[in-house]
Structure 1
Amino acid sequence: MARMRVFYATQFVLSLPAGHRFPMGKYQLLRDRLVAEVPGVRLGQALPASDGELALVHTPAYISGISDGSVDAKVMREIGFPWSEAMAERARRSVGATISACRSAFADGVAANIAGGTHHAYADKGGGFCVFNDAAVASRLMQAEARRSQRATLRIAIIDLDVHQGNGTARIFRDDESVFTLSMHGQKNFPFRKEASDLDVNLPDGCRDDDYLHALEGALDELDRRFEPRLVIYLAGADPHEGDRLGRLKLTWDGLEARDRRVFDWAWQRRIPVAMAMAGGYGTRIEDTVQAQINTFKVAAQYAARWQNQPR
């Protein structure tokens, strides 16, 4: 049975006001279903990212402000969570989970973070339920480790298929030719002031399966023409689903599964390891968000098996 390492920090549950839009309960529900339904998953508790690791992307003032609660109240309002020690620790561990998933992907082909995908976080501020930018920190750390061990620059593609543009990630890597940022998102959706990714694919409200998948094929073809990554970080947002409250797209279950298969197949054909983070999901029914995510994990596990069963 192929293994797939999956990292979590579900023990940190934020106390949110009644009616808050963020579905905190989805992470434990997803973890429970992974154990029950996806053979070969090996769960590991995420370690917290250190100050030094976070500082590869984030400013010292922002790191310390989040850590001790001295961060400006305006910044916390933009993030959308009340500050607490649990919030700060969860944010660190969300980054740590993606770091561990990247390291495991090099060994196993595919690995994942139950949370993560916090792509609205900039170097000096957060936003949109994102505190620290896990994909950005993990990218910079993987590059630093590659320079130490291989004396080479690790080229990374961040394939962001959350329905909201990865504005923080785009800004962080704006002048970095070693990281390719691909964001495929709702044109009229949050954030309303977007940054320039290396490749932005703007989708109209109501976009359905066929048009979405056609756009994705074109985006992956362009990525292939312009860049040769040795690691993919995949933000597999559940929010393009037609049942999502904040998504405004109309993908079906089959459409989301086809999306995931195209990404994993693209990477598999080129033998590029994939570290996956779950990113957004705000279903009218929390069960729909968890169903979208468990479907993604089942696809990921199939590709992990391909990696581990290939001739050595």
Structure 2
Amino acid sequence: MEKYELLPEQLLYEGTVTEDNFFSPDLLSESEILAVHKKDYWDKLKNLTLSRKEERRTGFPLSAALVERERIINQGTIDAANYALQYGVAMNIAGGTHHAFTDRGEGFCLLNDIAIAAQYLLRTAKAKKILVVDLDVHQGNGTAEIFQDNPYVFTFSMHGKSNYPMHKETSDLDIELEDKTDDKTYLDLLRKTLPRLIDEQEPDFIFFQSGVDVLATDKLGRLGMSIAGCKERDKIVFEHCYNNEIPVVVSMGGGYSKKIAHIIEAHANTYRLAQDIYF
């Protein structure tokens, strides 16, 4: 998508980041993939043998280049997790593949970057309890399925009730939002919920899915939030992570407003806030 090229250009142009702030991930290993995804599914991906039905479900025409791109994106979230342990916060500009299940891809997601990075942290004992804060307008259904029986990962998804996916999985906590939900309603819910989850779950690492498809201008979102409200949402998450000294990785997630400027401004706000709060 165009935003993946424009967003770094905007951040560099305005001086929010420098070239030194960027990193380029390598290719994710098969062992990391198989720690989350089933071997039969991964074999179909790497050998390009998904059925037409399975391919249509992903939303992509399957190709070797696409699978390689997914592996790089997912390694990027692992790399970001290591940077977050060092600096408190790190971002994957192309992450957020939360519709990928253990055994299938859906909704433009083939491999689940949040799940793969979370499993990496647990396996290497770099984290003991992880909280997933998924604030994309679409439910993190794949992440919920992957961690449904894992007591070390708590999945929280706050999403549109009437939006994709029509069949929702069961996260550890789901908050469903009505169409046209405005800033005040949304932010009041988040302010009430997030500190309680942090107190109850005592996570030592957080993954934040920060999709900007919550905007009223989004073609697919159906909510009623403003750019300012979306920025305040991100500020709430960052401040709770910072004040509680919990490292956080941000996966950028969706954004489909008709005007690309709205998408870039909302995503750029996430980076601006991280810079202001942490550095």
The TM tier, using the shorter chain, reads: over 0.9
Question: Which letter does structure 2 place at the counterpart of 1:297?
Answer: Y
Aligned to 1:214: 188
2:84 matches 1:105: yes
Aligned to 2:219: 245
Q: What is the TM-score with the length of structure 1 in the denominator? A: 0.86
Aligned to 2:13: 36
2:268 matches 1:294: yes
Any conservation in 1 of the 2:242–2:278 contact (CA below 8 Å)?
no
- Please give the alpha-carbon distance, in whole angstroms, between the structure 1 residues aligned to 2:93 and 2:17: 16
2:97 aligned counterpart, secondary structure = coil
- Please give the alpha-carbon distance, in whole angstroms, between the structure 1 residues aligned to 2:160 and 2:135: 10
Question: Which letter does structure 1 place at the counterpart of 2:119?
Answer: R
2:82 matches 1:82: no
- What is the CA-CA distance between 1:70 and the residue it aligns to? 1.0
Question: Which letter does structure 1 place at the counterpart of 2:155?
Answer: T
- Please give the alpha-carbon distance, in whole angstroms, between the structure 2 residues aligned to 1:128 and 1:304: 33
2:273 matches 1:304: no
Matches within 5 A, 1:44-55: 44-55=23-34
Any conservation in 2 of the 1:201–1:219 contact (CA below 8 Å)?
no
- Please give the alpha-carbon distance, in whole angstroms, between the structure 2 residues aligned to 1:298 and 1:177: 33
- What is the CA-CA distance between 1:104 and the residue it aligns to? 0.3
- What is the CA-CA distance between 1:119 and the residue it aligns to? 0.6
Q: What do you get for the CA RMSD once the two structures are aligned? A: 1.2
Moved more, 113-122 or 285-294: 285-294
Question: Which letter does structure 2 place at the counterpart of 1:34?
Answer: L
2:117 matches 1:143: no
1:146 aligned counterpart, secondary structure = coil
- Please give the alpha-carbon distance, in whole angstroms, between the structure 2 residues aligned to 1:273 and 1:54: 23
Q: What is the TM-score with the length of structure 2 in the denominator? A: 0.96
- Please give the alpha-carbon distance, in whole angstroms, between the structure 1 residues aligned to 2:130 and 2:239: 17
Q: Which runs of 5+ in 1 are unaligned?
A: 1-23, 148-152, 306-312
Aligned counterpart for 1:194 among listed residues 164, 168, 174: 168
- Please give the alpha-carbon distance, in whole angstroms, between the structure 1 residues aligned to 2:193 and 2:97: 22
4+ residue runs over 4 A deviation: none
2:41 matches 1:65: no
2:228 aligned counterpart, secondary structure = helix
Cα deviation per residue 1:57-99 (whole Å; 9 max; x = unaligned)? 0011111211121122211101101011111111111111110
Any conservation in 1 of the 2:195–2:240 contact (CA below 8 Å)?
no
- Please give the alpha-carbon distance, in whole angstroms, between the structure 2 residues aligned to 1:110 and 1:303: 10
- Please give the alpha-carbon distance, in whole angstroms, between the structure 1 residues aligned to 2:138 and 2:195: 21
- Please give the alpha-carbon distance, in whole angstroms, between the structure 2 residues aligned to 1:117 and 1:100: 14
Any conservation in 1 of the 2:83–2:89 contact (CA below 8 Å)?
yes
Question: Which letter does structure 2 place at the counterpart of 1:177?
Answer: P
- Please give the alpha-carbon distance, in whole angstroms, between the structure 2 residues aligned to 1:163 and 1:300: 21
Q: Which runs of 5+ in 2 are unaligned?
A: none
Aligned to 1:260: 234
Question: Which letter does structure 2 place at the counterpart of 1:29?
Answer: L
Aligned counterpart for 1:156 among listed residues 130, 139, 153: 130
Aligned to 1:114: 93
- Please give the alpha-carbon distance, in whole angstroms, between the structure 1 residues aligned to 2:12 and 2:33: 30
Any conservation in 2 of the 1:110–1:303 contact (CA below 8 Å)?
no
Any conservation in 2 of the 1:58–1:122 contact (CA below 8 Å)?
yes
Aligned to 1:236: 210
2:75 matches 1:96: yes
